[in-house]
Amino acid sequence: MTIVAGSLKVAVVGAGTMGQGIAQVCAMTGFETLLYDLDSGIVGRAIEQIERNLSIGIEKGKINNEQKQFTLDHIVSSTDIEDVSADLIIEAIIEKLDAKVQLFRDLEEINSEETIIATNTSSIPITSIAAHLSRPGNFIGMHFFNPAHVMKLVEVITGLSTFQDTTRKVVEFSKKLGKETILANDSPGFIVNRVARHFYLESLKILEEKVADHQTIDFLMENSGFKMGPFRLMDLIGIDTNFYVTKSIYDYFYQDAKFRPSRIQQQMVNGGLLGMKTGKGFYEYD
């Protein structure tokens, strides 16, 4: 597989917040990109959001109208799993091992032996997923950060069975996207999410203990140099996504108390208050 825009076909599975951002940056670079999701409504909203992102880029002077059209011309969408045939597949679905394993098994059935499958998991060890697959050497972690079309960092994570050639190709692909690419060995949460857990968890503990409200905590963190406070960031990421990542890391580290999920987050997930995507989380949105 040669990493050349125009000759490499990419498929992104999952058209939620992360998937749409990954698809956008792939298409902007010139890769023929398929964006897949089971839900036609989610796919439609994802394409609309990509168009909005590009229009905002024009308003800010970062891209022009030709680049916007170029990007849209390089994205197609589908709700049929049989269409997900590509050289490189990037998964961005729910953070649950069983769901990911079933998806990857289905994708192995309809793709060639050369196809590389990458997971955007934030926390599940790559080796744990690859153990269930028939071609573990072609499986790797490719962890983007939200919003994927803006954030420069990508963690590439190798499992115990990942081929060196798979790693080389994915690192090269990530750099083609203009990303700062960090190579990491397999571990729950990898590097960034393992460190970042306490940015969220300690903030939630302060809120739970009524030391300060969430607006004050965000204000203090943003005025100490962080671009976004923890509660604004959780709303952007999705409170459910953030909670499932924490729960996953907690379980994979054998219930180490320092990674204990927050009861506040659990309650909000149960109540459907998931942040920007539902219109209400710690803050309210139009």
DSSP string, 17-60: HHHHHHHHHHHHHT-EEEEE-S-HHHHHHHHHHHHHHHHHHHHT
pLDDT for 103 equals: 97
66 and 170 in a common domain:
yes
> What is the arithmetic mean of pLDDT over 116-136?
96
Please report which confidence band the pLDDT of residue 146 belongs to, taking 50, 70 and 90 as the band edges: confident
138 closest CA partner among 175, 106, 120, 112: 112
156 and 83 in a common domain:
yes
* Residue among 53, 174, 193, 242 flagged as catalytic: 193
Which of the 8 DSSP states describes residue 261?
P
Encoding tokens for residue 23? 């698809």
150 and 255 in a common domain:
no
pLDDT for 2 equals: 54
Whether 286 is in a domain gets the answer no
Please report which confidence band the pLDDT of residue 283 belongs to, taking 50, 70 and 90 as the band edges: very high
Please report which confidence band the pLDDT of residue 1 belongs to, taking 50, 70 and 90 as the band edges: low
Owning domain of residue 122: 9-185
144 closest CA partner among 188, 174, 184, 103: 174
Among this protein's residues, is 155 annotated catalytic?
yes
> What is the arithmetic mean of pLDDT over 264-270?
97
* Residue among 91, 95, 108, 155 flagged as catalytic: 155
Mean confidence (pLDDT) of the chain:
95
Pick the last residue of a domain from 164, 185, 206: 185
Number of domains comprising the chain: 2
18 and 160 in a common domain:
yes
238 and 172 in a common domain:
no
Among this protein's residues, is 51 annotated catalytic?
no
Report whether pLDDT(111) > 70.
yes
Among this protein's residues, is 187 annotated catalytic?
no
Pick the last residue of a domain from 185, 208, 229: 185
* Residue among 120, 122, 123, 248 flagged as catalytic: 122
267 and 149 in a common domain:
no
89 and 55 in a common domain:
yes
Whether 190 is in a domain gets the answer no
Percent of the chain with pLDDT over 70: 98
Whether 161 is in a domain gets the answer yes
* Residue among 32, 77, 138, 143 flagged as catalytic: 143
220 and 173 in a common domain:
no
> What is the arithmetic mean of pLDDT over 76-105?
96
39 and 160 in a common domain:
yes
Query: For 44, phi and psi rounded to 5 degrees?
Result: -60, -45
> What is the arithmetic mean of pLDDT over 125-152?
95
pLDDT for 6 equals: 60
pLDDT for 40 equals: 93
CATH number for the domain that contains residue 201: 1.10.1040.50
CATH number for the domain that contains residue 120: 3.40.50.720
Per-residue model confidence as pLDDT tens digits over 181-235: 999 999 989 999 999 999 999 999 999 999 999 999 999 999 999 999 999 999 9
DSSP reduced 3-state for 142: strand
Please report which confidence band the pLDDT of residue 3 belongs to, taking 50, 70 and 90 as the band edges: low
160 and 19 in a common domain:
yes
pLDDT for 147 equals: 87
Report whether pLDDT(4) > 60.
no
Per-residue model confidence as pLDDT tens digits over 17-60: 899 999 999 999 999 999 999 999 999 999 999 999 999 999 99
Whether 283 is in a domain gets the answer no
177 and 61 in a common domain:
yes
94 and 205 in a common domain:
no
Among this protein's residues, is 109 annotated catalytic?
no
